[in-house]
Chain A
Amino acid sequence: MSLFLSQLFNGLATGLLLALISTGLTIIYGTLGVVNFAHGALFVVGSYAGFTAYGMTDSFLIAIVAGSLVALVVGLIIERGLMRQYYGRPPEDQILVTFGIGIILVELVRSIYGGISLSIPTPEWGQGIAHIGSLVYPLYRLQALGIAAATLALLYYVLYRTSLGLIVRAGIEDAQMVNALGINVKRTFLLVFGIGAMAAGYAGVIDSPIVTLSPDMGHRILVDSFVVVVIGGVGSFPGAIVGGIIAGEILSLTSMFNPAYSHVMLFVVMALVLIFRPQGLMGQEGRE
Chain B
Amino acid sequence: MDDKNQMKTGGVNRRSMLKMGAAGSALLAGAPKMALAADEKKPIGNFPAGVEGDSVFIGLTLDITGPYSAQGADQQKGYELAIEQLNAGAEEIKKISPLTKKGVLGKTVKFGVADAETKPNTAVQAASRFIHDNKAMVISGSTSSAVAIALQKVCDRERTIYLPAISGSNETTGVDCQRYGFRLCYFAYTACKAIAPVLAKSLGKDRKAIYLVPDYTYGHTTYDSMVEFTEKEGWTTVGEQVHPLGAKDYSSFLINIANSGADTLVVIAYGADAANSIKQAKQFGLLEKMNIVVPYMSAFLEKEIGPEIMGGVYGATGFWWTLQDQYPIAKDFVTAFEKKYKAKPRDSAYIAYLTTALWADAVERAGTFYPPDVIKAYEAGEVRQGPVGDVSFRAEDHQGIINFPIVKGKKPADMQNPDDYFEIVEVVNGKEALPELGVLGCKLGPYI
Contacts and interface: CB of A to CB of B under 8 A. Distances in A.
A212 B241 CA distance: 20
B14 interface: no
A110 B65 contact: yes
Nearest to A221: B248
Given A129-B285, A140-B283, A263-B244, A14 B252 contact: yes
B252 A259 contact: yes
A146 interface: no
B285 A214 contact: no
Interface string A234-277: 00000000000000000110011001101100000000000000
B238 to A, nearest CB: 13
Interface string A157-181: 0000000000000000000000000
A31 interface: no
Interface string B242-272: 1110111101110110110000000000001
A140 to B, nearest CB: 7
B300 interface: yes
A216 B256 contact: no
Chain B contact-residue range equals: 35 or more
A110 B272 CA distance: 14
B70 A259 contact: no
Contact of A6 (B253, B255, B304): B255
Contacts of A187: none
Contacts of B300: 116-117
Nearest to B279: A212
A219 B246 contact: yes
A2 B275 CA distance: 28
Nearest to A119: B279
Contacts of B279: 119, 211-212
B116 to A, nearest CB: 13
A7 B284 contact: no
A122 B308 CA distance: 15
Task: Name the residue in A2, A214, A255 with the highest tally of chain B Cβ atoms < 10 Å from its Cβ.
Answer: A214
Contact of B272 (A3, A129, A137, A214): A214
A138 B283 contact: yes
Given A259-B242, A262-B252, A216 B280 contact: no
A115 B244 CA distance: 19
Contact of B251 (A14, A106, A114, A119): A14
Nearest to B241: A259
Given A6-B255, A117-B304, A220 B275 contact: no
A268 to B, nearest CB: 14
B255 A115 contact: no
A247 B120 CA distance: 28
Contacts of B256: 3, 7, 255-256, 259
A10 interface: yes
Nearest to A258: B242
Interface in A5-33: 6-7, 10-11, 13-14, 17
Nearest to A136: B285
Contacts of A221: 248
Contacts of A115: 64-65, 69-70, 72-73
B251 A214 contact: no
Given A6-B259, A136-B258, A141-B251, A117 B70 contact: yes
A138 B258 CA distance: 13
Chain A contact-residue range equals: 35 or more
Task: Name the residue in B247, B251, B256, B279 with the highest tally of chain A Cβ atoms < 10 Å from its Cβ.
Answer: B251
Nearest to B300: A116
A201 interface: no
Interface in A96-151: 106, 110, 114-119, 122, 129, 135-138, 140-141
Contacts of A212: 272, 275-276, 279, 304-305
Given A3-B259, A110-B65, A115-B69, A216 B246 contact: yes
Contacts of B305: 119, 212
Interface in B382-415: none
Given A122-B283, A140-B283, A116 B303 contact: yes
B50 interface: no
B224 interface: no
Contacts of A136: 258, 284-285
A210 interface: yes
A215 B249 contact: no
B83 to A, nearest CB: 21
A138 B275 contact: no
Given A214-B67, A255-B253, 12 more contacts: A14-B249, A114-B70, A119-B306, A122-B283, A138-B284, A210-B283, A212-B304, A216-B65, A216-B246, A255-B256, A259-B240, A262-B252
Kindly list the 7 A-B residue pairs having the minimum CB-CB distance in the complex, ordered from nearest: A115-B69, A260-B242, A255-B252, A138-B283, A117-B275, A115-B70, A252-B252
29 contacts: A6-B259, A7-B255, A7-B256, A14-B249, A17-B249, A106-B65, A110-B69, A114-B73, A115-B69, A117-B272, A129-B283, A129-B284, A129-B285, A136-B284, A136-B285, A137-B284, A138-B283, A210-B283, A211-B249, A211-B276, A211-B280, A212-B279, A215-B65, A215-B69, A220-B247, A220-B248, A221-B248, A259-B256, A263-B247
Interface of A: 2-3, 6-7, 10-11, 13-14, 17, 106, 110, 114-119, 122, 129, 135-138, 140-141, 210-212, 214-217, 219-221, 224, 251-252, 255-256, 259-260, 262-263
Interface of B: 64-67, 69-70, 72-73, 215, 240-244, 246-249, 251-253, 255-256, 258-259, 272, 275-276, 279-280, 283-285, 300, 303-306
